[in-house]
Structure 1
Amino acid sequence: MIPPPKWAHLPFFSQEFEVISAAIETDQRRVLPPTQQRFEALNLTPPNEVRVVILGQDPYPTPGHAHGLAFSVETDISPLPRSLNNIFKEMHDDLGEVPHDGNLRFWAAQGVLLLNTVLTVPAGEANGHKSLGWQSLTFQVLQHASQRPTAFLLWGKQAQTLARYISSPKTVANVSTDHLLIKTAHPSPLSARRGFFGSRPFSRINKWLADRGEPKINWTTA
């Protein structure tokens, strides 16, 4: 694995990365996503372009699904994973339309960091790498993204426990310096009806961006 160049300054890459890489190399199971895609989220959304952070748990454990972006899948995947299907249901209720497929790379290109808290998973074993230490990278990314006003989508209790790593942004004259934190239930089928559905996160983020004089996110059209 090659560290993402624009994020390689984070302490994680000089302190924990080598140990994690060695553990993955000796894992006899098939590890997802493919090696070249494990830092896809960070490569597609450099630090100075992050406007929105959406946190996932770990990659999809189904071979062919995970490609390095939280909740996203490759273009040809059908049916969609259930959490992503619920995200699109909420988006349709919120915005009236949804993307044609589950590939969310076009969100990343607009400054939406789709980051899993654990970046690898053994095929068929959800949470199988939760103890490797990837979370240290997530903590540092959140702290770095906090340096300027950012919208954070914290879906589910696990993501919400990471809110403590989101600090107050730096002061910028004449511009609102508050983050937007949206905390709801996770979009999984087990919890989506406990507060995810009806939360309208996409329009809320776009209103916040517009109020700041920033371009809105095009959530629906690649």
Structure 2
Amino acid sequence: MYPIPSTIHQSWHAFFESEFSKPYMTKLFDFLTEQEQQGVVIYPPRNLWFRVFEMPLDEIKAIVIGQDPYINEGQAMGLSFSVPVGEKIPPSLRNIYAELASDLGFESPTHGDLSRWFDQEGIFLLNASLTVESGKAGSHLKRGWQQFTNAVLNYINEHTSHCVFIAWGAFAHKCCAQIDLSRHQVTKTSHPSPLGAYKTMKDAPAFLGSRCFSTVNDYLTTHNIATINWEIK
């Protein structure tokens, strides 16, 4: 069995012990090791694959679901939609900042690092695939990661209460299809990418103008949970 990374919070250990013992994870890690041995560049670096699980399970207030890590050098940092300070802000994140400004009046920051959301606000920034081959979007999703992260979402669904699953776009909507709406909320919009940000979907509003951030806080307030400070400085 692949060893549980030392950075994983203890509240996740039972989940990791269960999933890591399954054949699909053995196949996934064998594949990733083989890729590395062949010189294939994988993002993010191995030490960041499971960064999001440094957050204690009981501190999660909201889950932001992405699809892949960024596919270009220096961008992927183990948190969905986030890039390190100094990297160019990706287009989807620019629209996220635009909606923050419209919804809550925050100035758009000059960087794309969302670590404060993760470190201080209980926002679990999860990609459906935790690794990707350089330059090849979707290259690792069906190698086992989607099964793993679906299990993650199910575990949060079953072991927490009153979390908000933030589903931007059709892919994220599907990821949240089994969430128990008597225990949690799923906030759906279109994807914040330039191709989707203005498009109304059959079962969700366009991302821009959705006021999705204040919607999350409204739900938390209803359940007597401290609201999220969405400001990025």
* TM-score, structure 2 as length reference: 0.85
User: Unaligned stretches of 5+ in structure 2?
Assistant: 200-205
Q: Aligned-residue CA RMSD in angstroms?
A: 1.7
2:101 is aligned with 1:92: yes
- 8 Å CA contact 1:139, 1:165 repeated in 2: no
**Map of 1:67 onto structure 2:** 77
Once the two structures are overlaid, the 10-residue window that deviates more, 140-149 or 66-75, is 140-149
Deviation at 1:158, TM superposition (A): 0.8
Shift of 1:211: 2.2
Does 1:22 find its partner at 2:33?
no
Which structure carries more relative contact order (alpha carbon 8 Å, separation 6+)?
A: 1
What letter is aligned with 2:46? T
Contact residue 55 and residue 70 of structure 1 kept, 8 A: yes
Aligned-pair identity in percent equals 36
* Residue number in structure 2 paired with 1:76: 86
Matches within 5 A, 1:187-198: 187-194=192-199, 195-198=206-209
Contact kept in structure 2, 1:77 and 1:102, CA below 8 Å: yes
Give the conservation status (yes or no) of the 8 Å contact 2:162–2:223: no
> 2:165 aligned to 152, 167, 184, which one?
152
Question: Per-residue displacement from partner, 1:156-190 (whole Å, max 9, x unpaired)?
Answer: 1111112233135xxxxxxxx64221111111111
- What pairs up with 1:1-222 in 2 under 5 angstroms? 2-3=4-5, 4-6=8-10, 7-10=12-15, 11-15=18-22, 16-27=24-35, 28=38, 29-43=40-54, 45-78=55-88, 80-97=89-106, 98-109=108-119, 110-147=121-158, 148-168=161-181, 178-194=183-199, 195-221=206-232
Q: Which amino acid aligns with 1:63?
A: E
Amino acid at match of 1:38: W
Q: Partner letter of residue 98 of structure 2?
A: K
SS in 2 for 1:166: coil
1-structure distance, mates of 2:43, 2:4:
15
| Residue identity opposite 2:166 in structure 1 | L
Work out the CA distance in 2 between the residues paired with 1:143 and 1:167.
9
Moved more, 96-105 or 107-116: 96-105
Q: Which moved more, 1:137-146 or 1:150-159?
A: 137-146
Of the structure 1 ranges 202-211 and 95-104, higher mean CA displacement relative to structure 2 is found in 95-104
Q: Provide the C-alpha distance between the structure 1 equivalents of 2:9 and 2:214, rounded to a whole number of angstroms.
A: 32
Question: Contact conserved, 1:99 with 1:219, CA < 8 A, in 2?
Answer: no
* Residues 212 and 99 of structure 1: CA distance in aligned 2, closer, same or farther (over 3 Å): farther
- The 8 Å contact of residues 142 and 165 in structure 1, kept in 2 or not, is answered as no
Q: 1:217 deviation in Å?
A: 0.9
**In structure 2, what residue type is equivalent to 1:130?**
L
Q: Secondary structure, in 3 states, of the residue corresponding to 1:17?
A: helix
Measure, in 2, the Cα distance between the counterparts of 1:41 and 1:158. Answer: 20
**Equivalent pair of 1:86/1:188 in contact (CA under 8 Å):** yes
Contact preservation (8 Å) 2:68, 2:130: yes
Listed as ranges, the gaps of 5+ residues in structure 1 are 169-176
User: How far, CA to CA, are the matches of 2:56 and 2:20 in structure 1?
Assistant: 16
Distance in 2 separating the partners of 1:105 and 1:70: 10
The size of the alignment, in residue pairs, is 212
CA contact (8 A) 1:143 1:167 kept: no
Report the Cα offset of residue 2 of structure 1: 4.3
